[in-house]
Amino acid sequence: MTPGLMERLWSAPGTKVMLIAHGRSPVRDSSLLLVDAASIDPTRTPVYLGHTTVAGAGPAGSEPAGTDVVLLMLKEPSNQWEGDESVRWIGLREAATELPARDAALFVEAAAIANWHATHTHCPRCGTPTDVESGGWVRRCPVDNSEHFPRTDPAIIATVIDENDRLLLGSSAQWSNKRFSTLAGFVEPGESLEAAVIREIAEESGVRVHSPRYLGSQPWPFPASLMLGFTARAHSAEAVPDGVEISDLRWFTRQELTEAVGSGEVVIASGASIARSLIEHWYGGPIAEPAGPQP
């Protein structure tokens, strides 16, 4: 990163600042509330999030494509909009469903890097507090000079399909018993993504799968995951929940899933999630849900 970049960004008139505190940021009228850098006292370490490639949904001309955005991590939400009913501080889950694509993407990036800074304040080699460098994307130990970079933890999430083209969904022991989703789990050190799919499915359901095929990914910074979506074929349909992470397993034909979701008997992941995309990839299109709030 260019030396002096942060100073230049901070004094440039077009630079916008995103605020985050405890994983929440201010929004106004369903778009991210970015403030002018000039109105902020840069007492805390800022992180350069980059420049936008599309315009924001805010007031016309205020956030054109190419706007530089800097993240400021606050200890507590700022009270500067107290009394302004149009401003709310929201978290990542709401951001993913409520904000336009540019803002949702900024939010995911901001939440991920803020999580990393919050949990990596000291050198893992010697315990010394680290310094922030490179626009907030490196932390360096002043004693042993080691550099530390933001980490991402890969996790796989997969549809499992049997020889009759049925889909396997599981219900987590921690969820309402109506909620069913694709199986998922973290990739272990030294493991390929394909091996992780085969192992996780076997552990959670007893089903042995083959031919895992990559379909797409979604960053999931709770706190630092990257969900890698797969589809795999089952050798057999005999499924047994592990009883720890998964409490129930069901095979669905498309007709059965249509009816179960339509009647509210089964609730599947929301439209903003990779789980929903994977399920609809198998289904062949959007799945209709009953009107009204979901449990």
CB 150 within 8 A of CB 116: yes
- Between CA 57 and CA 37, with CA 66 as vertex, the angle to 5 degrees is 80
We find the least distance from the C-beta atom of residue 189 to Zn ion, in angstroms, to be: 22
Interatomic CA distance for residues 148 and 123, integer angstroms: 8
Q: What is the DSSP letter of 30?
A: T
Q: Of 139 and 179, which CB lies nearer to Zn ion in the complex structure? A: 139
Residue with the two structure tokens 């000291």: 122
Q: According to the binding rule CB under 5 A, does residue 144 interact with Zn ion?
A: yes
Q: Are the beta carbons of 168 and 240 closer than 8 angstroms?
A: no
Q: Toward Zn ion, which CB reaches closer, 144 or 153?
A: 144
Q: Does 69 bind Zn ion (CB under 5 A)?
A: no
By CB under 5 A, residue 126 contacts Zn ion = yes
Smallest distance from the beta carbon of 117 to Zn ion, in angstroms?
17
Nearer to Zn ion, 125 or 210 (CB): 125
121 lies in the binding site for Zn ion (CB under 5 A): no
Residue linked to tokens 């797969």: 230
Q: Which residues are CB-contacts of 2 (< 8 A; sequence separation ≥ 6)?
A: none
Check residue 141 for interaction with Zn ion (CB under 5 A): yes
Instruction: For the CB of residue 121, give the shortest distance to Zn ion in the complex, in Å.
Output: 12
**Interface with Zn ion by CB under 5 A: which range of 31-39, 139-147, 166-174, 195-203?**
139-147
Q: Does 123 bind Zn ion (CB under 5 A)?
A: yes
Shortest Cβ distance from residue 130 to Zn ion (Å)? Answer: 7
Q: How far is the CB of 129 from Zn ion (least distance, A)?
A: 9
Rounded Cα distance, 33 and 25, in Å = 8
* Contact (Cβ atoms closer than 8 angstroms) between residue 218 and residue 270: no
**Which CB atom, from 142 or from 271, has the smaller least distance to Zn ion?**
142
* Number of residues near Zn ion (by CB under 5 A): 7
Segment contacting Zn ion by CB under 5 A, of 76-84, 128-136, 259-267, 277-285: 128-136
How many Å is the maximal CA-CA distance in the chain?
63
Residues pairing with 169 in the sheet: 250
The half-sphere exposure of 42 on its side-chain side, counting CA atoms within 13 A, is 20
Q: Which of 1, 38, 143, 244 binds Zn ion (CB under 5 A)?
A: 143
Binding site for Zn ion (CB under 5 A): 123, 125-126, 128, 141, 143-144
